[in-house]
Amino acid sequence: GPLPFGRLAIVGVGLIGSSLARAALARGLAGEVALADADPAVVARAAELGIGTSFHADAAEAAAGADLVISCVPVGACGLVAEAIGPVLKPGAIVSDVGSVKAAVVERMLPHLPEKDRFVPAHPVAGTEFSGPDAGFADLFEGRWSILTPPPGTAEEAISTVAAFWEACGANVETMTPAHHDLVLAITSHLPHLIAYNIVGTAADIEEVTQSEVIKFSAGGFRDFTRIAASDPTMWRDIFLNNKLAVLEALGRFSEDLAALQRAIRWGDGDALFNLFTRTRAIRRSIIDVGQDTPSPDFGRRPPGK
C-alpha cells in the first residue's frame, strides 16, 4: 500500500498542520515528518514540542524529497506555498492542502505545480477556535469528514493515496467538486461564522445595554456565538475573500428567511414561529445520530469551578 510515506512535508504548523504532524507521528504514517513555517517562533516551538522529525524556515527545504506535501497555511497564502515548493518537488510527489475553500485554492496552487495530475486538494471539517502549534492534537480528525476535491484529470492513485492518509488519521473521506464543496461549506461553516462574528459585533456596539451586561448575562445564548467569533481573523478574512459568491448567495437566503421571521414577530404570528422552532429540532437530532455532536446538555459544558 502507499502508507507509510518515506517523507511527509507539512507547510504551516498551526492548528491543522500541527495536528496532522502529531497524527502522522502517533500513527506511524511516515518515516520522516518535515515541518516548515514562515514564522520562526512557530518553527522553534514545533521543534520544542517534538512534533516532527525536521524543522524548516523554508518550505522548499521541507518539500524536497517528500512523497506528500500538505499546505496548511491560510487560503490567501497557498499560492505562495505552491510557488515555493513547485520547483523542488520530486517526480511523482503528491501535493495536497487543507484550506477551507477549494475552488480558489485550485486556482492559486495548480499553476505553480509541475505535475498537474498529482494535486489532491482536501478540507478536513474539524477544528477548534484556537490557532498555532500548541492548539493541535493528534485526535482532531477522529470521526470527522475530510472532503477531497480533485480537479478533473487527477490521477486515481494520487486520490486514493490521499484518501488513505486521511482515513489513517481517523477521518471519513468524501469526494466532490471544488465548486460544490464551496457551496456546501458556505452553508455549514462560512455563513455560521459570518453570523456569529456579526452578532457579537452588534452586541458590542449597542448603546442601551452596557458591555458588562452583555458579558454577565451571556449564558442566555450569546456566549455560544462568541466561541466561533473568536476564530482566527486572518484565516476567516481569507475564507470570505475567496468564497465570495457562495457566501453572498447563502447570506441572501438567510436574510430573506430572517425578514419573514421578523414579519411573523411583528404581526404576532405565533403559529409560524412555533412551526419553524419545531422543524429545527429534527436537524440537531440527526447531527447527534450521525456522531457529529454530543447529546450532552449544553455541549457537556461544566459549571464554573466544576
Ligand X SMILES: NC(=O)c1ccc[n+]([C@@H]2O[C@H](COP(=O)([O-])OP(=O)(O)OC[C@H]3O[C@@H](n4cnc5c(N)ncnc54)[C@H](OP(=O)(O)O)[C@@H]3O)[C@@H](O)[C@H]2O)c1
- Positions that interact with ligand X (CB under 6 A): 11-17, 36-39, 42, 59, 72-75, 77, 80-81, 98-100, 123-124, 127, 131-132, 232, 235
Shortest distance (Å) from residue 77 CB to a second copy: 13
What is the distance between the terminal CA atoms of the chain, rounded to a whole angstrom?
Answer: 47
Q: Which is nearer to a second copy, 69 or 73 (CB)?
A: 73
Shortest distance (Å) from residue 1 CB to ligand X: 26
**CB 75 within 8 Å of CB 104:** yes
From a second copy, ligand X, none, which one binds at residue 156 (CB under 5 to 8 Å depending on kind)? none
From a second copy, ligand X, none, which one binds at residue 11 (CB under 5 to 8 Å depending on kind)? ligand X
Query: Is 41 an interacting residue with respect to a second copy (CB under 8 A)?
Result: no
- Which of the residues 9 through 28 are near a second copy (CB under 8 A)? none
Query: Is 198 an interacting residue with respect to a second copy (CB under 8 A)?
Result: yes
CA angle 104, 108, 114 (to 5 degrees): 135
**CB 146 within 8 Å of CB 153:** no
Residue 281, amino acid: R
Shortest distance (Å) from residue 79 CB to a second copy: 15
Shortest distance (Å) from residue 130 CB to a second copy: 5
Shortest distance (Å) from residue 20 CB to a second copy: 16
Return d(Cα 236, Cα 128) in angstroms, integer.
Answer: 13
- Provide the β-strand partners of residue 32: 7
Helix-helix angle 244-266:270-289, to 10 degrees: 140
Contacts of 79 (CB under 8 A, 6+ apart): 108, 109, 112
Q: Which is nearer to ligand X, 155 or 222 (CB)?
A: 222
- Which of the residues 140 through 159 are near a second copy (CB under 8 A)? 142-145, 147
Give me the count of residues in the chain: 306
